[in-house]
Amino acid sequence: MRAHTPYIIAITFSCLSFITTAIASDDDALIKKNGTLLFADQFERDEATPGKEDIGGGWTSNSAWRAKGKQQVDLVDGVMQVTRAPEADHGVAIFHDVAFRDGAVQMKFKLKAGDALGLDFVDRELKSVHAGHLAFARITLKNIRLQDYKTGTMNNQIRDRRKAGDKSPEMTKLILSKQKIFPLKLATEEWHTLLVVVQGDAMRATINGKFIGEFKSPGIAHPIKRMITLAVNKGASIDDIKVWKLGTVK
């Protein structure tokens, strides 16, 4: 039996690869069949005033109030270059209005070692959570975390308990149940393509055409996502963003 073990392992890995490719293809097919493109941006433009943040294309950022007005988002050779200013008291947040229940976001990105890029789904009209945060995908070169903010860390009641010092096993268990982390091994400073799909209570991530994982949690099913936010703690390069609304799958 031991002599056959390598073949069994090889077949297992082959099956897993086939499954992940099939799921990624399913999401591509889902977008083609049920997707309505809300907007796309390749950042092929320049700021009106050099050195002054002016993203255009419907994008805004928190630079005015978090970085004392310093430019943190720069359009360079058709790429959105994001660099947190030394003066900033918060990571860089870049906003764009959307309107969907189920949807998909695709983008190209480059990161350096230690950098992270977040994709946040937001409803600012929802007052039961901090700043309207609903669901979050955070990617580094080493992993991607899919997280339910609405019923997790950004829920006002849970947030207040944690700020008050609640570190109970119950709280720890609750927080951990609202997220799932998937390991990655991505090359530094190379372009990668991320696709995140939110459908019902599920959030799925595909990177470079390979399905990475899915996380299900009730907050993801919030009936309206009104905004996406790109969250950058230190630095990132971003390009070729597309956002779709997904219709009901029959």
Task: Give the single-character DSSP code of 130.
Answer: G
Residue 87 — left, alpha, or beta (φ > 0 → left; ψ -120 to 50 → alpha)?
Answer: alpha
Contact by Cβ (8 Å): 138, 144 = yes
Contact by Cβ (8 Å): 151, 217 = yes
**Cα separation of 206 and 191, whole Å?**
14
CATH number of 2-246: 2.60.120.560
H or E element: which one contains 88? none
What stretches of 153-235 show up as alpha helix (H) in DSSP? 156-163, 169-177
The pLDDT value recorded for residue 2 is: 47
The model's pTM is 0.90
pLDDT, one tens digit for every residue, the chain (250 residues) = 445 555 544 444 444 444 555 567 799 999 999 999 999 999 999 999 999 999 999 999 999 999 999 999 999 999 999 999 999 999 999 999 999 999 999 999 999 999 999 999 999 999 999 999 999 999 999 999 999 999 999 999 999 999 999 999 999 999 999 999 999 999 999 999 999 999 999 999 999 999 999 999 999 999 999 999 999 999 999 999 999 999 854 3
Q: Which residues contact 241 (CB under 8 A, 6 or more apart)?
A: 39, 40, 41, 105, 106, 107
Strand order across the beta sheet in which 60-61 lies: 60-61, 92-100, 225-232, 117-122, 133-139, 143-148, 179-183
Q: Which residues contact 142 (CB under 8 A, 6 or more apart)?
A: 183, 184, 185, 186
The pLDDT value recorded for residue 206 is: 98
Query: Residue 240 in 3-state DSSP?
Result: strand
CB atoms within 10 A of CB 134: 25
Sheet strands (E) in the chain: 35-41, 60-61, 73-76, 79-83, 92-100, 103-110, 117-122, 133-139, 143-148, 179-183, 192-199, 202-207, 210-216, 225-232, 235-246
The domain locations on the chain are 2-246
